[in-house]
Structure 1
Amino acid sequence: MNNRNTFKEEILLARKHLAQLESLARKIDTLNHQWGEIIGKENPGYAELHPLLDKLKRNLHHSIGGWQKNRCEK
C-alpha cells in the first residue's frame, strides 16, 4: 500500500471517529437532560464527560492537521 492510500484511510478513519464522538456527545446531552427531568438536577458524571470528549476531538483535529502538513512537505 502506498502512502497516498494510507493517508486517505487515516483521514477517513479520523473523520469517522469525529462523527462518532459528536454522536456520543449528543447522547450524553440527552441522558443528562433525561436525568435532570427525573431527578431534578444535572448528573455530574455526564457533565464531566464533555471536556474529555472535547479534548479527544481537538486531538484528532490536531493529528489530521499534522498529517496534512507532513504530506505537503513530502
Structure 2
Amino acid sequence: MTASPDDAPLLRPAAPPPHRLGDLAAAFGLDPSGAPGWQDVLVSGVRADNRQVAGGELFAAHTGAHVHGARFAPAAVAAG
C-alpha cells in the first residue's frame, strides 16, 4: 500500500496560534530592548521575504548575497 498526500502528517497548521513575542524571545534566550509593550505583541508566523509578510507575522531580516534584509524592514512594517 502506498501513502497518499492526504495521509501525510500536517507539518504546518493552516492558521497557527499566535504567541507573545516576549515568550518567543525568552524561548530563544533573547533579551532584546524595544518600544514599551513589545513583549505583548502577538506573532502568528515568521517571514524572511518582506513581500510575503501579512498582519501578525514577524519579519526576519538577515544578510543576503547582495543586501541586508533590514533594508526591507519599512516595507514589512507597512505590510503588517
TM-score (norm 1): 0.25
If each structure's strand is expressed as a fraction of its own residues, which one has the higher value? 2
If each structure's helix is expressed as a fraction of its own residues, which one has the higher value? 1
Rg larger for = 1
Larger RCO (alpha carbons 8 Å, 6+ apart): 1
